[in-house]
Structure 1
């Protein structure tokens, strides 16, 4: 049985609707999974005309997974009906309306739109988690949301990862980013750099090493090889540039090795070489100590800008939350509000996220059969 993927529509004023149309207009998608969008049917309907070649696509409005058709040419939308299209403003609309509306009136309308879209995006995530926890979908995939918008709507989270952790009651989890065979997993994410240094503690590093090991196995990698990045330049140079490697990271590595986890170098690797080694096949995944240490190499590899055509040739990469009781993969980009609604958004990251979710769902089913 092909896995059922619950795909959130993302922020209604962002690129999620058009990206979803582009991903689901590919007939081959339905050969490997059964996708459904969790969002607003009218937003998805409005996105179809913006996508070249999608004119024949139809929306199937559902309120129960059993109502889905899972057929090429039809986009099944689990409709939450929380968006008033007459109040939705794209960023590009604000520039046009500024010429004919008073500034305070436009500001109020734009704030109302952002709050509405933040509430909608949050509700899509909450619903897809509920569906996965109830076993109605095999995996979840998320389009981008706007952190400012969901906070304006009263949901004080720093991103998808924290929402998933809260609503699945998960204490130990981590963000993994992946593009092709390069994978990184984070000890800390959405905190200041100063706080990230304080969070580099043995128990957390050990937890993330364990999560990385199990996460690779969930992808079908039977004997994962794990690299562990240092925090400081040159891994602290024996304490001259910092002692975190000596006092926190190495003790975590030693304990992980004692548990049988494969860390080939048996020590932290300098951050300026660990990713080149990973690309060379030394590791299946790299444990990184903070947000940008992992995000920068992934996006250098996955985001390709064509300076001659002045457009992105590729916006690739996947964000996976490991340690959860359910599967969650996501696009590794933002809502693209500057161009949302014009049909130019690149769907590659969503396609990659769906591929990861399918791999993990299939590996989970195989493991259940073996058990």
Structure 2
């Protein structure tokens, strides 16, 4: 056993090589010290380039397995997939999408084999994935597919409030069609379990409406009457502290004032507009329902900042801490 590797070891995927992922990984892990350890799964040559962008000269350690971990260095499982001369910083490219996808699948494999405590992900470009012929709308769906998980959702955690989204990466037209009692109830269940895993014994779950004013008793749509309210009633009958549906324009304000522990949002942008307007830097994505821990930064590749060395590391730090919190409670996400 490696005497330097006594803490739980998490894998951090490098993210899209052309985005800010390599830079924030280097900035965060330079002189990093905590009660858990991190190894980057990516391309060492890209991380070395990123160190130059952020003005650092860290020591890197190439790992083949956990026994190679060295606490005095930035530890890297070098995928050997792409190097700086093979792509352009700050734009979507198929070779970057292919590499980013490979980092993710290798990290999932390590976690599924219990060789690491969990996976933390840096941002990828959905456009780069598509250009590479990889037809997943995002991280969440990749993790679900590769772990064989059918019941899952995207949970966004900010200021101790968890938000689950009934629909995510699809058109608004499709999202409205997807709203059903079964889908809403599944997300209530997943959010309730996730918040308990995060230490809240009896989570107060608020469910948002789909339509303006939560439909105003059918004046502005009947999805609340036909699907959302029946799901809430079912959850209550199971002993879950659920309530709603509440107007989506006020539900988040009430949650962040302390009235609720979690919110089930019908639409991607109902949740994320509110969350990212409140605090863009500290939010964390958690994929709930998986057999492994997976947390992620709450932002994208920020191609406009790539190569500048100016990208914030705050969301990555929050994602790392959330992963350890889940691990320390003996929970999966």
TMscore range, shorter length: over 0.9
Q: Secondary structure at the match of 1:245?
A: helix
TM-score (norm 2): 0.95
Q: Displacement of 1:127 after TM fit?
A: 0.6
Q: 1:14 aligns with which of 11, 19, 33?
A: 19
Shift of 1:84: 2.9
Is 2:1 aligned against 1:2?
no
TM-score, scaled to structure 1: 0.85
Aligned to 2:54: 51
Match of 1:61 in 2: 62
Deviation per CA, 1:30-56: give whole Å up to 9, x if none.
Answer: 32211110101111122112223x32x
Give the 3-state SS of the residue equivalent to 1:227 in structure 2: strand
- Partners of 2:107 and 2:66 in 1: how far apart? 11
Larger Rg: 1
- Matched residues in 1 for 2:172 and 2:77: separation? 39
Q: Name segments (4+ residues, structure 1) moved above 4 Å.
A: none
3-state secondary structure, aligned to 1:220? coil
2:300 to 334, 343, 358: 334
- Residue 28 of structure 2 is matched in structure 1 by 23
Contact 2:167–2:175 at 8 Å: present in 1 too? Answer: yes
Q: Where in structure 2 are the equivalents of 1:243-258 lying within 5 Å?
A: 243-258=222-237
Q: Counterpart in 1 of 2:3?
A: none
List per-residue Cα deviations over 1:129-186 (Å, max 9, x = no partner): 0011110111110000011111111211110011001100111111111222232110
RMSD of equivalent CA atoms = 1.5
Gaps of 5+ in 2: 1-5
Structure 2 Cα separation of the partners of residues 118 and 150 of structure 1? 4
By how many angstroms is 1:235 displaced? Answer: 1.3
Give deviations 1:306-340, integer Å, cap 9, x for gaps.
Answer: xxxxxxxxx33111111111111111111111221
Q: Could you list the runs of 5+ residues in structure 1 that have no partner in the other structure?
A: 92-109, 304-314
Q: Give the 5 Å matches for 1:312-331.
A: 315-331=281-297
Name the structure with the higher helix share. Answer: 1
**Is residue 182–residue 298 contact of structure 1 (8 Å, CA) maintained in 2?**
no
